[in-house]
Amino acid sequence: MMVVSFKKQLLISAAIFAMMAHPVFAEQLEPLAEEAASAAAQSNTPIASQAIVIEKQPMVDLLQSGKVDGVGLQDPEGIYNFYKSQNFDYFWTDGEKPENNSKKALELLKDSWQHGLNPANYHVQTLGQRMEQDEFTNSIAFEILMSDAMARYAKDMTGMRVTARSIGEDTKSWRRGLGAEAALNLLVTNSNPQKAYEDLIPPSKLYPILQSELKALHEDMKKHPQTVNKQIAFPGLIYPGRTHPAVALIRARFDIEADKKSPPEFYDEKLIERIKLFQKANGLKPDGIIGQRTIEAINQGRRDKLVKILANLERLRWMNPALPDKYILVNVPAMTLWAFEDDKIVFEMPIIVGKPSWPTNSFKTDVTGIRFNPSWYVPPSIKTKDLLPELQKDPDYLAKKNLQLLYYTSDGAKEISARDVKWAEVTEADLKNMAMIQNPGNENPLGKIRVLMPNQYNIYLHDTNSPELFTKDFRALSHGCIRLAEPRRVANFILDRNGDWSEERLSNILSKKNTIEVMSTQTIPVFILYQTIWQDGKGDLIFGQDIYKNDEKLIAELVKKNKLPVPIN
C-alpha cells in the first residue's frame, strides 16, 4: 500500500475544502484535486479518510509513541487498538474540556485505596491538576493518560500485581489481569465508569467485609497514630484458675478488671471467657489456655492487621470469579477443607497441612478420581531430607518401617536389600535411581484413600495412619500433602455423581485391600488457597496466623513496587 506523506495529506485536504468553499477555486485547484484522487486511489484510502487521518494525526502519533509527558503507557498496543476501534475519537473530553465520565473515573481511581491499591499508580495527581486548570490544555495528553490510568486500574483489579515467581506462587493457577483494550471496551457501553467496572470487584462475600475492615483501620490510624501494642513475653502455658504475673498484663490489654476478692494476677472466669472469644476470632482453639500462639496473637498490632487485610484482598483478586457448581476449597492457614455444591457448603472438616519447613503450595487443579488402598512412593524430598540420614545411621530403618527398596537399571527395576547399600556414599543423584515404597496396610501414611489430582508439586489429599493428630490445635505437621479427617466423606463427595457409586461399594473396595482406582465421571476443581482471614460457619470473621509468613513476603514485594496505599511501617 502506498503511504501518503503528512504534507501531501494537508495539500489534499486543503484542496477538498477549498473546492467545497468557493466554486471560483474549483477550476484553479482541479489539477490538485486530480492528484488527490490519484494518491488516494494508489493508497487504497478514500479522500474523506485522508482528512480524518490529518485531523487526528496528533493523537495517533502520541499513541504510537507509547508515552505521555515522559510516562510510559502500561499497554500501548492495547490502548492504541481501543482508540483505533473508536476511530480515534475523544473519549474522556470533548476536545476542549473534560467530560463528566472523566470526573467519575478520577473519583474511582482516588478511591482505589479501599481495595488496597495505590492511587498514585493511576496518575491521579497529574489528572486532577489538569482538570482543575483554569484553561484546559493538551486534551490529547489528558485523554490518553486517563485511558492508561483506567487500564492499569482494571488490570490490577483482575489479577496479580507481582510476578508469581517473586513470591513463590504457582505461575498457572491465578489470573494475570485484563489487557488495556478489553478493559477500555467495558467503558464504551456505560457512561459511568464506576458502574462499568463494578463487575471487576471479586464476588466473594469476604471481599466487602475486608474493605470495611480496611476503612475502619484507616480511621483508627488517623485518630490514634501513636498507638503501639506493648509486647508480652511468652510466660509458658497459663491455665484457667491459675495465678501468674503475665495475667495482669493480659488483663490490661483487654481492659478487664479483676474481681475485688482476687489479685489482678489471678486468671478468673471473666478473663477466661474473653480469652476464649479472642482465640476463636484468631483461628485458635477456644480452650482458654494461654499458650505461645495465643500470646503471639495478643501481641499483634495494627500493622499486623493491616498486612493481613491487604494481603487477603490481593489474593481474592487473583481468583477467577466464575466458580463451578461443585468444587473443593482448602485454606492452608485455617487448616480446614470445605466442599461446595450449588453455592452451598456441603461439609467442612479439619485437615493437616505442611509444616513451615515443608509448606503446602497454593494452586488450582482438578480431581479426577480416587485411589483406594494406595501404595506410598516416598517423594524425592523426603528420601533426601528424612530417610537418607536415618539409613546412614541404621541400614535396617526401611525394614523396620516395612518399606520396600527398588533399584532402577537399564534392565528395569529390581528389589534390593538396604544392607547391601553403602549409604554413607549415596548421593542425591543415586537416590533418583531408587524407589522406596510402602505397600497398602496400616503402616501406610496415605491411609486407605488417596485423591487423584495431578499437579507439579506432588501434593494431594489423602487419608492418614495417624488420626490422633487431628485433636491438635496447630496442624501444620505434614511434608506438604493434605491429610483428611474424614476421607470417606471426601471420596463420596467426589464420586457421588457416578451412577453406580454407593457407601456399600466404598466399604467393599476397602475390605479387599488391593489397590483400585475409581475415576470420577465429572472432574471436580480443587483450590488450595492461602487466606489468613476467613469466615467461620456463622459468618464471623477469623484473623488467622500467617503460618508460612506468606503475607509478609507478598506485602514486601508490593512495597518494593510502590503498590500499597499507605506506608506499611
Is residue 302 scored above 50 in pLDDT? yes
Q: Which residue's C-alpha cell is 480524518?
A: 52
Is residue 48 scored above 70 in pLDDT? no
DSSP state string for 195-264: HHTGGGS---THHHHHHHHHHHHHHHHHH-TT--PPP----S-B-TT-B-HHHHHHHHHTT-PPPTTS-T
Is residue 15 scored above 60 in pLDDT? no
CB 535 within 8 A of CB 206: yes
Specify the pLDDT at position 16.
Answer: 40
Query: 558: helix, coil or strand?
Result: helix
How far apart, in Å, are the Cα atoms of 379 and each of 70, 80, 382, 460, 469? Answer: 53, 50, 5, 12, 22
Specify the pLDDT at position 226.
Answer: 75
Considering the domain architecture, whether residues 359 and 457 belong to the same structural domain is answered as: yes
Indicate whether 125 belongs to any domain: no
The three cell numbers locating residue 461: 489429599
Specify the pLDDT at position 502.
Answer: 96
DSSP state string for 296-352: HHHH--HHHHHHHHHHHHHHHHHS-S---SEEEEEETTTTEEEEEETTEEEEEEEEE
Considering the domain architecture, whether residues 328 and 466 belong to the same structural domain is answered as: yes
CA Rg, the chain, in Å?
Answer: 33
Using 50, 70 and 90 to split pLDDT, how confident is the model at 445? very high
Specify the pLDDT at position 228.
Answer: 78
Indicate whether 152 belongs to any domain: no
CB 262 within 8 A of CB 281: no
Write down the catalytic residue from 115, 123, 462, 479.
462
Considering the domain architecture, whether residues 351 and 490 belong to the same structural domain is answered as: yes
Structural domain that includes position 51: 6-60
The Cα–Cα gap between 469 and 294 comes to 20
pLDDT digits (tens, 9 = 90+) for 186-239: 999 898 999 999 999 999 999 999 999 999 999 998 888 877 788 999 989 999
Considering the domain architecture, whether residues 431 and 500 belong to the same structural domain is answered as: no
How far apart, in Å, are the Cα atoms of 493 and each of 281, 339, 373, 419, 467? Answer: 29, 8, 18, 44, 20
Considering the domain architecture, whether residues 367 and 493 belong to the same structural domain is answered as: yes
Is residue 50 scored above 60 in pLDDT? no
Specify the pLDDT at position 237.
Answer: 94
Stretch 15-39: mean pLDDT? 46
Is residue 439 scored above 60 in pLDDT? yes
Is residue 407 scored above 60 in pLDDT? yes
Return the DSSP state at 104.
H
Q: Shortest CA distance to 376 belongs to which of 273, 295, 304, 481?
A: 481
Q: Quick one: CA torsion of 193, 194, 197, 203, rounded to 10 degrees?
A: -170
Indicate whether 188 belongs to any domain: no
The Cα–Cα gap between 477 and 463 comes to 14
Indicate whether 157 belongs to any domain: no
Specify the pLDDT at position 255.
Answer: 92
Indicate whether 167 belongs to any domain: no
> Pick from 438, 471, 489: which residue ends a domain?
438
Considering the domain architecture, whether residues 370 and 383 belong to the same structural domain is answered as: no
The three cell numbers locating residue 370: 480416587
Least confident of 49-53, 429-433, 489-493: 49-53
Specify the pLDDT at position 289.
Answer: 95
Which CATH number do you get for residue 501?
Answer: 2.40.440.10
Considering the domain architecture, whether residues 474 and 507 belong to the same structural domain is answered as: yes
The three cell numbers locating residue 426: 549415596
**Cβ atoms within 10 A of the Cβ of 32, count?**
17
Using 50, 70 and 90 to split pLDDT, how confident is the model at 21? very low
- Our count of domains for the chain comes to 3
Is residue 4 scored above 70 in pLDDT? no
Least confident of 196-205, 257-266, 451-460, 490-499: 257-266
Specify the pLDDT at position 2.
Answer: 37
Give the containing element (helix H, strand E) for 151. Answer: helix 139-157
Number of H helices, E strands in the chain: 21, 17
Give the angle 399-405-409 at the CA atoms, nearest 5°: 160
Handedness of CA 495, 496, 500, 505 (dihedral sign): positive
Query: 93: helix, coil or strand?
Result: strand
Considering the domain architecture, whether residues 412 and 488 belong to the same structural domain is answered as: no
Write down the catalytic residue from 115, 123, 479, 481.
481
Indicate whether 144 belongs to any domain: no
Q: Shortest CA distance to 172 belongs to which of 451, 363, 415?
A: 363
Indicate whether 168 belongs to any domain: no
Is residue 74 scored above 90 in pLDDT? yes
Q: Which residue's C-alpha cell is 481474592?
A: 316
Is residue 479 among the annotated active site residues? no
CB proximity list for 55: less than 8 A, separation 6 or greater: none
Is residue 22 among the annotated active site residues? no
Specify the pLDDT at position 285.
Answer: 92
Specify the pLDDT at position 6.
Answer: 37
The Cα–Cα gap between 400 and 518 comes to 32
The three cell numbers locating residue 379: 517423594
Considering the domain architecture, whether residues 361 and 387 belong to the same structural domain is answered as: no
Supply the angle between the helices 124-132 and 100-110 in degrees, to the nearest 10: 140
Using 50, 70 and 90 to split pLDDT, how confident is the model at 53? low
**Strands 412-415, 403-409: parallel, antiparallel or unpaired by DSSP?**
antiparallel
Is residue 462 scored above 60 in pLDDT? yes
Considering the domain architecture, whether residues 337 and 431 belong to the same structural domain is answered as: no
Return the DSSP state at 470.
G
Using 50, 70 and 90 to split pLDDT, how confident is the model at 42? low
Handedness of CA 324, 455, 363, 336 (dihedral sign): positive
Percent of the chain past pLDDT 70, that is, above it, reads: 90
Q: Quick one: CA torsion of 384, 390, 395, 399, rounded to 10 degrees?
A: -90
Is residue 390 scored above 80 in pLDDT? yes
Considering the domain architecture, whether residues 414 and 432 belong to the same structural domain is answered as: yes
Indicate whether 299 belongs to any domain: no
Considering the domain architecture, whether residues 474 and 516 belong to the same structural domain is answered as: yes
Handedness of CA 417, 422, 424, 427 (dihedral sign): negative
CB 139 within 8 A of CB 90: yes
Specify the pLDDT at position 33.
Answer: 47
CB proximity list for 390: less than 8 A, separation 6 or greater: 397
The Cα–Cα gap between 103 and 110 comes to 11
CB proximity list for 134: less than 8 A, separation 6 or greater: none
CB proximity list for 387: less than 8 A, separation 6 or greater: 378, 397, 398, 436
pTM, rounded to two decimals: 0.85
